[in-house]
Structure 1
Amino acid sequence: MAHFNTASFQPKDQFGAWRSLHRDTIELLPTDELAAGFAAEFSSWRLGDLVLTHVSYTGAPGRRWRHRPKSYLDHWCVVLARTVAADGRPREELSFRSLALPYEGRAQDSEVITLYLPRDQRPADEQRFDCVHGLEVSQDFAPLLIGYMDGLVRRLPHVTPGHAASLEMPTRALVAACIIPQPVYQEAARSPLGSVLVDRARVVVRQNMASPDFGPDRLARLLAVSRSKLYRLFENSGGVAHFINRERLHEAHRRLNCERETLSIHAIGNEVGFIDHSTFSRAFRREFGCSPTEARERGLARSFADEWGEPPPG
C-alpha cells in the first residue's frame, strides 16, 4: 500500500506536491483559489497488475486537468467520482477512460476511486475497451461496479498482497462485463478459445524473446497451429510481429521499472531480443512516449516516493 497526504506540506506548496504526485498520468492545471492550500489524501493498492487508488479532498478548490500526451502509462481506468451538490446531496459518476487518448475534465470532487487496468494483458481487449473511451457506465451496471470498488477500498487495507493479487482476473472480468456494450461483449464471448490461444502465445513469446530471430513462423510451430490461423488470430490487433514486438517492449518496460533490476539498459534490450540499441530506443519511445532512460528514471522516482511517502524532488 502507498499513502500520501498534502497535510505534511505548507499550504502554499500543497498543490505543487499534489501535481507532482500525478505528473506521469495527468496534467493538473492551476486555479486561482490555491492560496488557502490544497488538502488531499491519496492511497493505492495493487491487485496483481491492476492498481486501485483512493483520493479524498477536504475543501479543496475546483480542479482542471487533462491526460498527459503520450504518457508511458497508457492504461485504461474506471473512475468513480463523488461530489456534494449545491443542495447538499451527494452525487456520483462512474466513467471509463483510456490514458492513451485525449481527455480533459473539470471537477470539485470530494472523493475519487480509480481502478487502473494495464494494456499488456489481452490484445483482444484493446479495441473493445478503446471503443468505450469516455463512456459513462450504464445505470444497469454502475451500482454493481460502484459497490465492488467501494468494497475494495474498505477491505484492501486488511488483505495480504498475495490475496489481493488473486482478485486481478475476477476484477477484470467484472469491469469488462459492466462497461463493454452488450453486442460487443457477446461477440467476444463467442471465441473463448481464441483468448486461450493468445494467452498461450504470450507465454511462448516470453520464454523465447531473448532470441532476436524468434518470429511468427517459430511461434506457429511452438503453438502447433498453422500460420494462417495464427495470422487470423492477430489480424485485428496489428499482426503477429506487432504482438511479439509489444511483448518484448513491455517486458523491457517492466524490468526498467523494477528497482531490483541491476542490468544496464543495453543489456535489458539484448535480453528481450533487440541487438541494436538505437532500434530498441526508437521502438520503446514509439510504444511508451519516452526513452528507456526516462522510463528507468521514472521507476526510480516512484520507488523513492513509495519508500519515503512523498513525491520525489524536482
Structure 2
Amino acid sequence: METLSFKSRDYADSGAFDAYRDLYSGGSDVTALGANFAATVRGIRFPQLLLFDRTLQGVSHERTRRRVGADAFEHLMLQLVVEGRMMVLAGNVVRVVEAGELVLFDLTQPQRTWTASARIITVAVARAVVVGTLPVATDLHGTVLPRIGSELLQDFLLSLARNGDRTHAQMAAAATATVGALLLATLGGRTAASEDAPLVGAARVNLILEFIDANLVRPDLTPEIISTQSGISRTALYRLFEPLGGVAAQVQKRRLRAMRLALTRQGDSRSIGEIAIACGFVSASHASRSFRAGFGLTPREFREASLKVAGAKAAMPIDAVLQRWFDEVR
C-alpha cells in the first residue's frame, strides 16, 4: 500500500508549521493556535479511500465557502477522535467531539475544526462509495456519532490504521467497501429511532439519480419527465426526494456539480458557455448566477483558482502526493 508521513519535529521550529500548512493547502486553510504547534501524520491510500492517523497540537483547519467552491472536493470525511477532543463548526453549529466519538463531514459544505491536543483518525472516502447506498449523506454534515452504536466502525478504522499499510490490493478494496457498509449500518441504527436525518429508499433514489445524471443536458428535466421515465407518480417522487431537499433542488445541485467537475479538467478546452449548456443550463449567464450562488465564485474565477492550485502543488513532492491522493477521491 502507498503511504506518506509527516513529522513536525523533522523541521526547524520556524519551518514546522509552514511545512504542515503547505501540506494541507490544497484542501483547507490551516491556522496555528498559539506557539505550541506540533503534528505527526501517517497516511495510507486505499481504493477510493484515504486514511490518516494524526496527532495534532495547537492547530485549526477551515474550509470556507470560497475554498469549497475552488477545490471541487466531493468526498465525505469521517474523523474519529481517539484521544483528546476537537471542536467543530458545521452548518452554523459548534460542537465538541470527545474521545470515542466520530464526526461526519460533507466536503461540499463549509466547516472548521480546532484541536488543542488530540489523536485523530481521519478517513476521506469517495462519495460514490457511500452515496451509492446512502443518498442523504449530504444532510448529515456535522453529525456526531457517539461510541455506543458505532463500536464496529470505530474498531475497524483503528484496525486499518494499525494494519492497513500491509494490506494487499484485493483486501484493500474489501476494506473500502467495509467502511461504506459499516457507516451505512451505523447511520441506519442511529436514524431508526430519530426523524432528524431520515434514510430513504436508497436503491430507488439512486436509480433516479442515475437517470438525472445521464440527462442533465436536457433543460426540460422536470419532475414530470423524471417521474414518467422512472415509472412512479409525481407524489411518490416528491415524497422520496423530500429528505434530499426536493427534486428540483437535486437536479440543480447535480447540474452545478457536473459543471464544477468539468471546470477542473485541465484538458477541457470548451468555453464556460459550452460547459453550461452541456450541463443543462439555459444560458451562460444563468449558469454563472447559479454557480456563484452555490459556490461563492463565478465559473471563470473557479476555473482560474483550480488551475492555480494544480500548478502550485506540482513543485512540492509530499504535497504533490497528497494532492494526487485527494484527486482520486475528489
TM-score of the superposed pair, with normalisation by structure 1: 0.73
Query: Looking at both structures, which has the greater relative contact order when contacts are Cα pairs under 8 Å and sequence separation is at least 6?
Result: 2
User: In the alignment, what sits opposite 2:58?
Assistant: 63
User: In the alignment, what sits opposite 1:140?
Assistant: 148
Q: CA deviation at 1:199?
A: 0.6
Question: Using a 3 Å threshold, how does the CA distance of structure 1 residues 282 and 181 change in structure 2: closer, same or farther?
Answer: same
Contact 1:78 1:97 in 2 (8 A): yes
TM-score of the superposed pair, with normalisation by structure 2: 0.70
Structure 1, unaligned runs of 5 or more: 86-90
Question: Using a 3 Å threshold, how does the CA distance of structure 1 residues 21 and 302 change in structure 2: closer, same or farther?
Answer: farther
What amino acid is aligned across from residue 14 of structure 1 in structure 2? A
More strand by share: 2
User: In the alignment, what sits opposite 1:125?
Assistant: 137
| In the alignment, structure 1 residue 243 sits paired with structure 2 residue 245 | no
User: In the alignment, what sits opposite 2:90?
Assistant: none
Contact 2:80 2:103 in 1 (8 A): no
Q: CA RMSD in A?
A: 3.7
User: In the alignment, what sits opposite 1:88?
Assistant: none
Which of 272, 280, 291 is equivalent to 1:273? 280
Question: Using a 3 Å threshold, how does the CA distance of structure 1 residues 92 and 228 change in structure 2: closer, same or farther?
Answer: closer
| In the alignment, structure 1 residue 228 sits paired with structure 2 residue 229 | no
Q: CA deviation at 1:118?
A: 6.1
Contact 1:141 1:178 in 2 (8 A): yes
What amino acid is aligned across from residue 79 of structure 1 in structure 2? Q
User: Which secondary structure state, in structure 1, belongs to the residue aligned with residue 64 of structure 2?
Assistant: coil
What amino acid is aligned across from residue 184 of structure 1 in structure 2? S
Aligned counterparts of 2:43 and 2:289: Cα–Cα separation in 1:
35
Q: Within 5 Å, give how 1:1-314 maps onto structure 2.
A: 3=4, 5=6, 11-23=13-25, 25-33=27-35, 38=38, 40-43=40-43, 45=45, 47-48=47-48, 51-57=49-55, 62-70=57-65, 71-72=67-68, 73=73, 76-83=76-83, 92-98=99-105, 100=109, 102-109=111-118, 111-117=119-125, 121=131, 122-127=134-139, 129-130=140-141, 133=142, 135=144, 137-153=145-161, 154-155=163-164, 158-160=167-169, 164=172, 168-179=176-187, 180-184=190-194, 194-296=201-303, 297-298=305-306, 301-302=309-310, 305=313, 308-311=316-319
Q: What whole-Å deviation, never above 9, does each CA across 1:93-127 have from its counterpart, x for those lacking one?
A: 33214353654423223x43212356683543333
Q: CA deviation at 1:84?
A: 7.9
What amino acid is aligned across from residue 54 of structure 1 in structure 2? F
Q: CA deviation at 1:242?
A: 1.0
Question: Using a 3 Å threshold, how does the CA distance of structure 1 residues 32 and 208 change in structure 2: closer, same or farther?
Answer: closer
User: Which secondary structure state, in structure 1, belongs to the residue aligned with residue 52 of structure 2?
Assistant: strand
Question: Using a 3 Å threshold, how does the CA distance of structure 1 residues 264 and 151 change in structure 2: closer, same or farther?
Answer: farther
